[in-house]
A and B are shown apart, each in its own frame.
Chain A
């Protein structure tokens, strides 16, 4: 079975992570936050590396939220 995008809970302490994510943006302007997000995406995408997983992540992220 090829590696797949993990869509089950995988972050050991979700509250800690979420807090850290918001803290990283604390006090930043919109432009600075956008830049931080872009750097974060690139860092994580490189860590993943696998093109099939990246494609699947793009697909999942592109799904329109249910209205």
Chain B
């Protein structure tokens, strides 16, 4: 049994942090980009503005971007906790964060075009539940904006046009193609979450789950770690730059994961996260104590 009010309060605080405070590894990556862009270039100016904006949002406890995105949430919980209660509390937290202007009312009824007004809707927020063998509850969330969501891609290999076969070389080819197709439209410099394999649904979830990884972490699978480094380097060689103004900083990170697949299917699924790579997490002990995750 969870203490609902306290749980809602903690989750609302998690959404406030996600919307107003960019994770320190993302800020570091943006600063690194700033330092390699030429003084006086549009790329440099864009990164100067972005970093100024990040500071301002944190100081003023205001949304980094007016598109506060869709909350995508992963919950790990122990045996015996009701996922109905947990899901209900998460939805309430979205409503409260919206009423306090940490989130913009971002749920639109597709058939009527009406905005629900409180940030919650059918399928919003999207919550993934997983039971684990620990006593505490862990919640991690991404706030994923619409511009970046629009440039996500799913390829099926082989792709003859790109000369992409069913191997990691094929993956390299389609991922670079996705970066070129996105140009600056997903608010570059972005971070790519990529799932190799899976089905059309599981793959998009896994690609987004990859975005929870801190930028400097290393993939435990050696060949994926290597491909991540290659894609990051080559992605930045494309010259698209911040906001698509041209420049050296097109990507901040590339995170690859693999799921098993049907023999007939080989999907490569790419979720693009904008520079405002908003994620937050919290671990809640049995007694309700919150520990913030980076």
Q: Do A and B come from one complex?
A: no
- Give B residues with C-beta under 8 Å from A: none
- Give A residues with C-beta under 8 Å from B: none
